[in-house]
Amino acid sequence: NAGVTQTPKFQVLKTGQSMTLQCAQDMNHEYMSWYRQDPGMGLRLIHYSVGAGITDQGEVPNGYNVSRSTTEDFPLRLLSAAPSQTSVYFCASMWGRGNTEAFFGQGTRLTVV
Amino acid sequence: GENVEQHPSTLSVQEGDSAVIKCTYSDSASNYFPWYKQELGKGPQLIIDIRSNVGEKKDQRIAVTLNKTAKHFSLHITETQPEDSAVYFCAASNTGANNLFFGTGTRLTVIP
């Protein structure tokens, strides 16, 4: 099992460009989520999904879109990148809701110039 | 929503000493409290968790305590080793929700 796989690992964007961060898991987990990690602010939830076809907003959703067409994949889209979106992005998956272990990907370091 | 505060933000200890990291939470409905370790360039990884029906849990050199009345929980690492150096995050959630709320992290450095 590969666990949670994120691509790319590094990305530099110009302001206004769009891109998609990919996330895939092979553990058949229902729940997937995206976090951003900024210095001194810990991990903040962007969007999450409790199953295929269902998504919802987290703490900091503005500027990001998600979709969940399959159980395995949960891409994060930046429609018009801004410097404030410079961050490290982590995808995570869980077997179910509430109190179960979250498995994280290796992260994507995004810089918007 | 839930607010998790974590202290200290940085902690340096001599190898073999103990390290303690403390967190507080605001939502009395939270009933699950995991701790994650993040090594450089990697994603966070679960090291121990505790549920609200338990006051203390231990796994070798790592222990977690929970005080529901005071809404705080702590991570204790004994006999620290250089490989314990990492960033540690506490988190809180409840069974009815889907989301983990994280603290701001503690960078632990173990000095050989």
Contacting A residues, span 2-31, partner chain B, CB-CB under 8 Å: 4, 31
Predicted confidence at residue A97, as pLDDT, reads 65
Sorting pLDDT into bands at 50, 70 and 90, what band is A41?
confident
What integer pLDDT is reported at residue A96 of this predicted model? 74
pLDDT bin (cut points 50, 70, 90) of residue A40 is confident
What pLDDT score was predicted for residue B72? 96
Size of interface A-B (CB pairs under 8 A): 69
Cβ contacts (< 8 Å) between B46 and chain A: which residues?
101-102
CA A102 – CA A62 distance, rounded (Å): 23
For B24-51, write each residue's pLDDT tens digit: 999 999 999 999 999 999 999 999 999 9
Distance CA B22, CA B90 (A): 8
pLDDT > 90? residue B65:
yes
> Would you place residue B98 in the very low, low, confident or very high pLDDT band (cuts 50, 70, 90)?
low
pLDDT at A98: 61
Query: Best mutation site among B99, B102, B106 for testing chain A: the one with the most A CBs within 10 Å?
Result: B99
- Interface contact A99-B31, CB threshold 8 A: yes
Burial class (CB in 10 A: 0-12, 13-18, 19+), B111: exposed
Is B42 in contact with A90 (Cβ distance < 8 A)?
no
Measured between beta carbons, the chain A residues lying within 8 angstroms of B96 are: 97-98
- Nearest CA to A33 out of A104, A110, A106 is that of A104
Question: Nearest residue on chain A to B92, judged by CA atoms?
Answer: A99
What pLDDT, in 10s, does the model give residues B82-91?
999 999 999 9
